């Protein structure tokens, strides 16, 4: 085997977003495109030379080929040890778990998360640092800067290695370990949750659940933990075999794309509990019988009930939420007397807070919840937390959430997504809103009075780094909010997200329909931003 140095030319479009570099599969398949980005990681993360790298992905189209390419490049760049999930598979939270457990120098995760897969779908790559979390902006900007000037990359001339057999092999001077992708993660979950108590739920035969893996990475994890370790009936995990195109579906665990499992929570034979996860296993949707738990409420309920769970019985140090996430968890933190942090969107912003032990739990409205057990959001962890809570409290999902509302008040919440809109039009919309912010405080919009209006900026309390222009916030005197933000997770055009929140402390009014409560705010939000005239969209692509 020989090390080859390949001449290349830089690409101008390799700046990572909030979750790494995401593009169409066909772009990554272009000559040198993947290699340039990977070499830029090795060039800037010099501790990988002689160190250990974790490698895996969500199994989408091009995953296996990319794994082979990265292993050869790792060997050529002097990485001493590469830990690879069997078949090239690792869920994102499992990768974080392995990085932390074996104290490696970081990991490369191949995923476009909840984006569609297949030959015409999306692909993604990101680097996770030794703490197990997504690379912070300083690291991603260094990688991006290198991609702009790169002129060559190094690789090893060799054939494909066997990714499907667990064991150890050598590639040049590099040791490649193919590991069970599930075992370490399952052991961590068993340490956090009372598996014996959860097993009792299923042993009684009176509790039924379904977990929709959406033909994505979480299938093998859920089947092993739920059906084999916890004794849930065979068939509890549906769509459990990972496929390169996610079975033709869109692996986003929301009410629209996970409609199959949503339907199982209604009707005469409805299950008691249901959940779904996404492409790489870091997101979750929680459902009870005829009841949907918003991700914002899920985070708040988890924080309020952490003392019931083995791994958190000693108390939690603090909580954090992304700025667009509802303020429901803020009210829990206030009652518990702990700190609550509001961060920009992107899990990497929670990393410093977790490492400094300022927080134990964190979450985002985009179906992401997690804790200090790893440095990524974790879909199956959230499902197991809810199962443990149901086993302890012996109430239904609906009863637990409604009791939470009576105690803390209800934060009605919804999100409007306008996907694939013209980028120039989207930027113009945001610019115009920013120009109007100074005049909004104190003004009346229909029956609402504006309390504050700003472009959200965040100063990290641990390292002092500043992140500006993270979304537009318009808050009203009654606790309602409208938030506008351009998402960085798409691969075509722009995605405008509009977040709407209304607080209701009156128990008699907490049972109203969300759409009814939000109707006035929807009118204000769409009119203020001139969404139809600027984007041509009369309706959002998705409402959650």
pLDDT single digits (tens) 232-285: 999 999 999 999 999 999 999 999 899 999 999 999 999 999 999 999 999 999
HEC secondary structure over 90-123:
CCHHHHHHHHHHCCCCCEEEECCCCCCCCCCCEE
What pTM did the predictor assign? 0.94
Same domain? 427 vs 372 = no
pLDDT digits (tens, 9 = 90+) for 429-441: 999 999 999 999 9
**pLDDT classification of 204: cutoffs 50, 70, 90:** confident
Structure tokens at 204: 């009684």
Sign of CA dihedral 242, 280, 90, 2: positive
HEC secondary structure over 360-375:
CEEEECCCEEEECCCC
Q: Which of 91, 111, 113, 326 is catalytic?
A: 113
Same domain? 388 vs 444 = no
Rounded CA separation 116/246 (Å): 7
Same domain? 176 vs 197 = no
- Neighbouring CB atoms inside 10 A of 200's CB total 14
- The answer to whether residue 113 is catalytic is yes
pLDDT on residue 489: 57
Q: Mean pLDDT over all residues of the chain?
A: 96
Structure tokens at 504: 């209701």
pLDDT on residue 488: 61
End-of-domain residue from the set 160, 181, 202: 181
pLDDT on residue 42: 98
pLDDT over 60 (residue 490): no
Same domain? 9 vs 46 = yes
pLDDT on residue 322: 97
Answer whether 115's CB lies under 8 Å from 22's CB. Answer: yes
Q: Which residues pair with 174 in a beta bridge?
A: 171
Average pLDDT over every residue of 517-539: 95
pLDDT digits (tens, 9 = 90+) for 178-190: 999 999 999 999 9
SS3 percent helix, strand, coil of the chain, rounded to 5, is 35, 25, 40
Same domain? 380 vs 414 = no
Structure tokens at 459: 């100063």
End-of-domain residue from the set 181, 214, 230: 181
Q: Which CATH number fits the domain that encloses residue 515?
A: 3.30.310.50
Closest CA to 343 of 377, 309, 316, 384: 377
Average pLDDT over every residue of 70-85: 98
Structure-token match 């869109």, residue found: 250
CA distances from 355 to 4, 200, 317, 376, 408 (A): 39, 35, 12, 12, 29
Same domain? 221 vs 86 = no
Same domain? 514 vs 391 = no
Q: Which CATH number fits the domain that encloses residue 165?
A: 3.40.120.10
Answer whether 377's CB lies under 8 Å from 283's CB. Answer: yes
End-of-domain residue from the set 181, 201, 231: 181
Rounded CA separation 248/60 (Å): 11
pLDDT on residue 22: 95
pLDDT on residue 205: 85
Structure tokens at 38: 């990977």
Percent of the chain exceeding pLDDT 70 equals 99
pLDDT on residue 491: 56
Domain count, the chain: 3
Same domain? 8 vs 79 = yes
Same domain? 151 vs 192 = no
Same domain? 259 vs 311 = yes
Parent domain of 368: 185-408
Same domain? 125 vs 237 = no
∠ at Cα 203 (368, 186), nearest 5°?
40
């Amino acid at each position: 085997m020989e090390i080859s140095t390949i001449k290349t030319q830089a690409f101008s479009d390799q700046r990572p977003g909030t979750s790494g570099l995401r593009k169409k599969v066909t772009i990554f398949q272009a000559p040198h495109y993947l290699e340039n980005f990977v070499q830029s990681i090795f060039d800037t993360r010099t501790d990988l030379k002689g160190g250990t790298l974790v490698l895996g992905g969500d199994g989408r189209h091009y995953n296996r080929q990319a794994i082979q390419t990265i292993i050869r490049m790792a060997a050529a760049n002097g990485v001493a040890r590469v830990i690879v999930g069997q078949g090239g598979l690792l869920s994102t939270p499992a990768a974080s778990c392995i990085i932390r457990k074996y104290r490696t120098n970081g990991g490369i995760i191949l995923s476009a998360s909840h984006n569609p897969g297949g030959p015409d779908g999306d692909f993604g790559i990101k680097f996770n640092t030794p703490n197990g979390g997504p690379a912070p902006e300083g690291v991603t900007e260094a990688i991006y800067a290198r991609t702009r000037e790169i002129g060559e990359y190094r690789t090893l001339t060799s054939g494909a290695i066997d990714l499907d057999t667990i064991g150890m092999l050598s590639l040049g001077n590099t040791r490649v370990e193919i590991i069970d992708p599930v075992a370490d993660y399952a052991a961590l979950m068993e340490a956090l949750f009372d598996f014996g108590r959860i097993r009792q739920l299923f042993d009684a035969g009176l509790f039924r659940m379904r977990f929709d893996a959406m033909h994505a990475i979480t299938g093998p994890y859920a089947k092993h933990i739920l059906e084999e370790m916890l004794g849930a009936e065979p068939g509890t995990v549906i769509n459990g075999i990972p496929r390169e195109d996610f079975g033709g579906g869109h692996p986003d665990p929301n009410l629209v794309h996970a409609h199959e499992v949503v339907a199982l929570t209604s009707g005469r034979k409805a299950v008691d509990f249901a959940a779904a996860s996404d492409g790489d296993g870091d997101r979750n949707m929680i459902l009870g019988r005829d009841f949907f738990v918003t991700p914002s409420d899920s985070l708040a309920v988890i924080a309020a009930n952490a003392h019931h769970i083995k791994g958190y019985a000693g108390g939690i140090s603090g909580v954090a939420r992304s700025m667009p996430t509802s303020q429901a968890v803020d009210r829990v933190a206030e009652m518990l007397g702990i700190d609550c942090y509001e961060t920009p969107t992107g899990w990497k912003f929670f990393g410093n807070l977790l490492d400094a032990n300022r927080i134990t739990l964190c979450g985002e409205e985009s179906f992401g919840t997690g804790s200090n057990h790893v440095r990524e959001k974790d879909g199956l962890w959230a499902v197991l937390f809810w199962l443990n809570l149901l086993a302890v409290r012996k109430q239904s999902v609906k009863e637990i959430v409604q009791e939470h509302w009576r105690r803390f008040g209800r934060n009605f919440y919804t999100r409007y997504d306008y996907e694939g809109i013209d980028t120039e039009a989207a930027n113009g919309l945001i610019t115009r809103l920013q120009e109007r912010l100074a005049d909004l405080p104190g003004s009346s919009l229909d029956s609402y009075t504006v309390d504050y209006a700003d472009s959200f900026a965040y100063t990290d309390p641990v390292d002092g780094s500043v992140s500006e222009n993270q979304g537009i916030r318009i808050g009203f005197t009654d606790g309602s909010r409208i938030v506008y933000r351009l998402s960085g997770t798409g691969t075509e055009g722009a995605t405008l997200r509009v977040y709407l929140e209304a607080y209701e402390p009156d128990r008699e009014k907490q049972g109203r329909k969300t759409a009814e409560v939000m109707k006035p705010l929807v009118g204000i939000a769409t009119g203020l931003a001139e969404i139809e005239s600027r984007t041509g969209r009369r309706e959002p692509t998705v409402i959650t």
